[in-house]
Chain A
Amino acid sequence: MKAVKILERMLATIPIMFGVAIIVFFFIRLTPGDPVDIMLGRSAAATQREIEQLRQQFHLDEPLHVQLGYFLGDVLRGNLGYSYIRNKPVVELLTERLPATIEMTIGALLISLIIALPIGILSAVRQNSLLDRVSMAGAFLGISMPGFWLGIILILFFAVRLQVLPAQGRLSYDVHLQEITGMYVLDSLLTGNWRALEDSLKHLLLPSITLGAGVAAIIARVLRSSMLEVLRSDYIKLARAKGASEWGVVMKHALRNALIPTVTVVGLQVGVLLGGNMIVETVFSWPGLGRLVVDAIFNRDFPLIQGAVMIYAITFVLTNLVVDILYTYLNPKITL
C-alpha cells in the first residue's frame, strides 16, 4: 500500500516539473543580456551575418512560444538541449557535475547531523547549563557566519598554516581513481583504492564543514526547542514515574517525538545546502553543479540553466517525499 502511495507521489512530481520548466524558461528570458553576444566573447570580431547564423542555430530568432515548444518537446524526449557555451548536451554536463555536488551535500549533511544531534539533545536535557549557553552561542555564530568567510578561515588554518588538509579541489592531481559513480569517496570504496579514499575524504572535509556549519546550527536549535517541549509533556513524566532510566526516557521517548519537526527542517535545509553549494564550490574550487549554474547564468546559457534548475527542483521535491516517508516511521499515526 505504502509503495503505491510513494509511486503516486512520485508521479505527482511530473506536473510540478513541467511547471518549474515553464517558469524557468520565461524567467531567464526576462533577464537582459544576449547569449549570442556572450558566446562570441567580449571583443569578438564577428559580423552581423555570423551573429544571425548563431541565433538561427539556437532558435533564438524565433518567437518565445515557438522556442518553448522546442524546449518542452525536447524535455519530453529526455533531451534538455545543448549548452550554448560548452558545446555539450546539457544532460551530459549535469550528470558529470551532479555527483560532486551530491557528495558535498551528503558530506555537509552528515557533518551537520554529527554536530547538531548531540548538541541539540544535551542542551535540552541540561537547559540553562554552561554547555547549553555555549552551544547555543555557537549555534548563533554558525548561523551568522557567511560561508565564504568560514571557508577561507578554514583554508588559512588547516591548509596554509597546519598544511594537514588541502585548500581546493576534489582529488590531488597525482592520485588516480577509476570513476564509477563520480562520487569519489564512494568510488574509492568500491574499487578498494585506499589512497584515493584518504585523499578524497581529506578534500571533502573542509567544504563539508563550511557548508554544514550553518545547517548544523539551525538543526541544533530546532532539536533543542522541540526536545524541551517534549520533555515537559505528561508521557515523559509518566515514563520517569514508572522508573525508566533517564537515558531511556531521553533517547527512546523524547527524541523520537522531537525528531518530527527536526526532520522537516533537515528536509528544507537540503534546499539551502544545494543553494549554498554555489558559494562553497567557488571557494574550494569544487567542480560541482553550483559553479556550473553560476557560470551558466552569467553566460545566459539558457538550456543549461533550465536543466540545472530542474535538477534542483527534482532534488527538492524528492527530499520532501523522503521526509514525508520518514514521518510515517517516526509516528505511525501519520500516513502518506
Chain B
Amino acid sequence: MNRIRTIQLGALVLLVALAACAAPTPQIIEKVVEKPVEKIVEKTVVAERTVVVQPTAVPGRDTLVVALARAPSGIDPADHSSREAETVIRNIYDGLVTRDHASGVHMEIAESVKWLDTKTMEIKLRKGVKFHDGSELKADDVIYSFERVFKTNAIEFPQPHTALRKGFLGPFGSADKKDDYTVVVNFTAPWPAGMQMLVHTQIVSKAYVTKVGTKGLIEKPLGTGPFKFVSAKTGFEEVMLERFADYYGGAPTLAPVGKACVSRAVFRVIPENSTRVAALLAGEVDIITEVPAELVGTLQKVPGIQVKTVPGTRPIWMEFNVAQAPFDNPKVRQALNHAVDKDLIIKKVYNGLAKPLAGPLMPANNMADPSLKPYAYDKAKALALLKEAGWAPDASGMLMKDGKPFAFVIDTIDSMRPIAEATATMLRDVGIDASVRVWEYNVVRPKLLARERQAYVGDWGDSTFDPVGHMEAKWHSLVTGSTYGRGNFSGYANKRVDELIKAGETENDPAKRKVLYYEAQKLIYDEAPAIFLILPEAIEAASARVQNWQPASDSRENLHDVCLK
C-alpha cells in the first residue's frame, strides 16, 4: 500500500516537472510579472511622448545601467570592429560630427565642415572643448586622430598594425593645420560620403596618447565626450563611466544641450536574451538592447516597462548563386521574389517589427530609390515566370524541368534560421524543394565567395546611411585583393552597375549622385540577384525610470540625453 502511494507520488512529481518543461519561457515570464504596481504616474516628457513612471527596485539610484548583448570588441576609437564598442566609445569620445537617426548629420566638436572643392575639406573647431584631463582640444589632436586611423602601422600595440577603422576615412591623403582651430583635410579623390563617414571617427588627445601609448589609452580612455572613463572589468564585461563636469554640451542643434543627466553610467554584458529581459524586470538594469521580437508582446504588457523600436540598419536578403543553374536565369530569380510573402514573414517571425525591402538598399539610406516597391507576393505570377523559364509542375505539384526537380539548399547562419525556414516553406508552396542548412558565418563566407553554394540568407550592416560602403561590398562584382564585392555572395556582376557604383563614390553633386545610384538600384532590382526580404527593427526596452531615451538605428546608445526618475 505504502509502496503504491510512493509510486503515485513519484509519478505526480514527474508529471509536474514535465508540465513545467513543456511551458515556453515567455509564458513563464508573463506569469511571474503579474505583480500589482503600487503607484503609476503619467508624465509627459516631450509633446508626443508619454512615459509611465513606476517605483523602482533601487529608488534614488542615480546610476544608469545598460545591458549589452555582447562585449565591446575594444575601446580604442581607432581600432575596433563592433557596434557595442562604438556605443561605449561614443559616450566617452565625441567626433567632429554626429548623427541623429531622424535628422541626419549634426556638428559636434566641429563648428563647421565645409568642402573647399571636391577633394578638400575645411574643418573649423569649436573653442573651449575640453578633454577629460582638462586640456583643450585643438587642431593637432584632430590631425593626430586622423593619422592614427589612416597611417599604415600607426597603432603600435600589441604589435604595430593599421587601425581597423581605416576604411571610414576613404581616400584620405593628408591633414594640415591652418591654425589651432582649423584643419584642412586633403583627399586623393572626391569623397561625397565624407560627412556620413566622419560620424564614425572620434577624436583622441595627441598629448595623452603620445605619453601613455595605445596600451595606456585602452587601459584608461580619455576623450571629450559626456562621460569620463572610471573602470572596466576584464574583457569589457562591465564598463563604468561618470559624468564629465566640464563637458561642452554636445551638438548644439540636438537637444538637450549640456552635461550628461545621470551621474554614472554602467555598461554590463548579459549575453543570454532571457537573462537580459529578467535583469530588466528585476530592476537590476535600466536599459536592455537587442530584445528578441518574440518577447516584445510579453514585455509590453508589463507595467513600468517601455519597449521602443526604430528601423534597424541590417537588411536581410536571400542571395542566389547567379553563376549556377537555375539561378543564372533572371526570370527564375524574379519568380522567387514573387513567391515569398514578406508580410507574412514579418507578421509571424518578426512579430510585425520589420519592413519589407524594396531592392538592394534599406529605405533609410540617403540614396535609396523611393520609387522602387517591394516585389508583390503573387504565386500565379511566380509560376508563370517559372513556366517561361521551363519549369512546370508535375502531378504532385513539384516543379520539374528536363525530368529533374527544382531542388536547392538555402545556407544561413543560426540567427537567420527562422527567416530562412519561413522562406523555404513558401518556396515549397510553389513546388520548389528548398531546404535549409545552418553554418557558422566565418565558415560559410569563404564558400560563398568561392561560389560553392546555391543560396544564402544573411544580413549586412548599413549603419553609415550612405551607399558607398554598402554598394561596393554587396553589389559590385568581386575584385580579389580589394574591398569591392567582399560581401557579394551572389556572384552578381554587371559592368554597368560596377561603373555606376564607382562613379557614385566620387560624385559630389547629390542630385547627380542620386541619378547614378537610382540607375544601379533599378538594374539590381530588375535582375534580382537576391530575394529582397526584410529590414528588421532594432528593439530595446527600459524601465519606466528612464526618461528621454531613444534607441538609435545604428545601435548607438546615446546616454548623454538619458535621465533617471
The reply to whether B482 and A48 form a contact with Cβ atoms under 8 Å apart is yes
Min CB distance B346 to A, Å, is 24
State the total of A-B contacts with C-beta under 8 angstroms: 174
The reply to whether B9 and A133 form a contact with Cβ atoms under 8 Å apart is yes
A34 CB–B CB distance under 8 Å = yes
Which B residues are CB-close (under 8 A) to A141? 13-14, 17
Interface residue from B81, B270, B445, B482 paired with A168 (Cβ < 8 Å): B270
Interface residue from A128, A137, A163, A284 paired with B14 (Cβ < 8 Å): A137
A307 CB–B CB distance under 8 Å = no
A134 CB–B CB distance under 8 Å = yes
Question: Chain A, 29-73, contact with B by CB distance < 8 Å: what is the 0/1 string?
Answer: 001111001111111111111100110010000000000000000
Min CB distance B282 to A, Å, is 4
| Given contact pairs A87-B157, A156-B28, A173-B266, A45 touches B167 in the complex (Cβ within 8 A) | yes
A97 CB–B CB distance under 8 Å = yes
| Given contact pairs A138-B13, A173-B240, A287-B234, A47 touches B278 in the complex (Cβ within 8 A) | no
The reply to whether B270 and A285 form a contact with Cβ atoms under 8 Å apart is yes
The reply to whether A159 and B278 form a contact with Cβ atoms under 8 Å apart is yes
Question: Chain B, 55-76, contact with A by CB distance < 8 Å: what is the 0/1 string?
Answer: 0010000010100000101100
The reply to whether B272 and A283 form a contact with Cβ atoms under 8 Å apart is yes
Q: In the complex, what distance in Å separates the CA atom of A82 from the CA atom of B233?
A: 19
A271 CB–B CB distance under 8 Å = no
Q: In the complex, what distance in Å separates the CA atom of A45 from the CA atom of B486?
A: 8
Which B residues are CB-close (under 8 A) to A48? 480-482
Min CB distance B115 to A, Å, is 22
B210 CB–A CB distance under 8 Å = no
The reply to whether A57 and B445 form a contact with Cβ atoms under 8 Å apart is no
Closest to A136 in B: B10
| Given contact pairs A46-B167, A168-B284, A97 touches B234 in the complex (Cβ within 8 A) | yes
B218 CB–A CB distance under 8 Å = yes
| Given contact pairs A48-B482, A157-B32, A41 touches B164 in the complex (Cβ within 8 A) | yes
Question: Chain A, 160-183, contact with B by CB distance < 8 Å: what is the 0/1 string?
Answer: 110100111100011000000000
| Given contact pairs A128-B3, A173-B240, A33 touches B442 in the complex (Cβ within 8 A) | yes
Closest to B469 in A: A45
Which A residues are CB-close (under 8 A) to B481? 47-49
B515 CB–A CB distance under 8 Å = no
B238 CB–A CB distance under 8 Å = yes
B2 CB–A CB distance under 8 Å = yes
| Given contact pairs A82-B158, A97-B234, A160 touches B275 in the complex (Cβ within 8 A) | no
Question: Chain B, 247-281, contact with A by CB distance < 8 Å: what is the 0/1 string?
Answer: 00000000000000000001011111011001101
From A147-155, A215-223, A231-239, A250-258, the one touching the partner chain is: A147-155
B33 CB–A CB distance under 8 Å = yes
The reply to whether B9 and A167 form a contact with Cβ atoms under 8 Å apart is no
Q: In the complex, what distance in Å separates the CA atom of A96 from the CA atom of B506?
A: 48
A291 CB–B CB distance under 8 Å = yes
Which A residues are CB-close (under 8 A) to B218? 87
The reply to whether B440 and A291 form a contact with Cβ atoms under 8 Å apart is no
The reply to whether B278 and A155 form a contact with Cβ atoms under 8 Å apart is yes
| Given contact pairs A45-B473, A85-B73, A167 touches B442 in the complex (Cβ within 8 A) | no
A282 CB–B CB distance under 8 Å = yes
The reply to whether A43 and B486 form a contact with Cβ atoms under 8 Å apart is yes
Q: In the complex, what distance in Å separates the CA atom of A155 from the CA atom of B281?
A: 11
Closest to A146 in B: B21
A86 CB–B CB distance under 8 Å = yes
Which B residues are CB-close (under 8 A) to A166? 282, 284
Which B residues are CB-close (under 8 A) to A149? 21
B7 CB–A CB distance under 8 Å = yes
Q: In the complex, what distance in Å separates the CA atom of A298 from the CA atom of B71?
A: 14
Min CB distance A190 to B, Å, is 20
A7 CB–B CB distance under 8 Å = no
The reply to whether B28 and A47 form a contact with Cβ atoms under 8 Å apart is no
B20 CB–A CB distance under 8 Å = yes
| Contacting residues of chain A (247-304) with chain B, CB-CB under 8 angstroms | 282-285, 287, 291-292, 295, 298, 300
Min CB distance B453 to A, Å, is 13
Q: In the complex, what distance in Å separates the CA atom of A258 from the CA atom of B275?
A: 40
Which B residues are CB-close (under 8 A) to A155? 274-275, 278
Q: In the complex, what distance in Å separates the CA atom of A298 from the CA atom of B282?
A: 31
Min CB distance A156 to B, Å, is 5
The reply to whether B167 and A42 form a contact with Cβ atoms under 8 Å apart is no
The reply to whether A130 and B275 form a contact with Cβ atoms under 8 Å apart is no
Q: In the complex, what distance in Å separates the CA atom of A38 from the CA atom of B523?
A: 32
Which B residues are CB-close (under 8 A) to A53? 161-162
Min CB distance B504 to A, Å, is 16
| Given contact pairs A133-B7, A134-B9, A163 touches B57 in the complex (Cβ within 8 A) | yes
The reply to whether A160 and B33 form a contact with Cβ atoms under 8 Å apart is yes
The reply to whether A292 and B235 form a contact with Cβ atoms under 8 Å apart is yes
Question: Chain B, 4-36, contact with A by CB distance < 8 Å: what is the 0/1 string?
Answer: 011101100110010011000100110011010
Q: Which residues of A contact B (CB under 8 A)?
A: 31-34, 37-50, 53-54, 57, 82, 85-88, 93, 96-97, 128-130, 133-134, 137-138, 140-141, 148-149, 152-153, 155-157, 159-161, 163, 166-169, 173-174, 282-285, 287, 291-292, 295, 298, 300
The 8 closest A-B pairs by CB, nearest first: A41-B81, A45-B167, A48-B481, A33-B442, A133-B6, A287-B237, A96-B234, A45-B483
User: Can you give 15 contacting A-B residue pairs, CB < 8 Å?
Assistant: A33-B443, A34-B446, A41-B164, A45-B167, A45-B483, A46-B166, A48-B480, A57-B159, A86-B235, A87-B157, A133-B7, A141-B13, A167-B275, A282-B271, A287-B234
**Known interface pairs A43-B486, A161-B32; 5 further A-B residue pairs with C-beta atoms within 8 A, sorted by A's residue number:** A43-B487, A47-B483, A152-B25, A282-B271, A285-B268
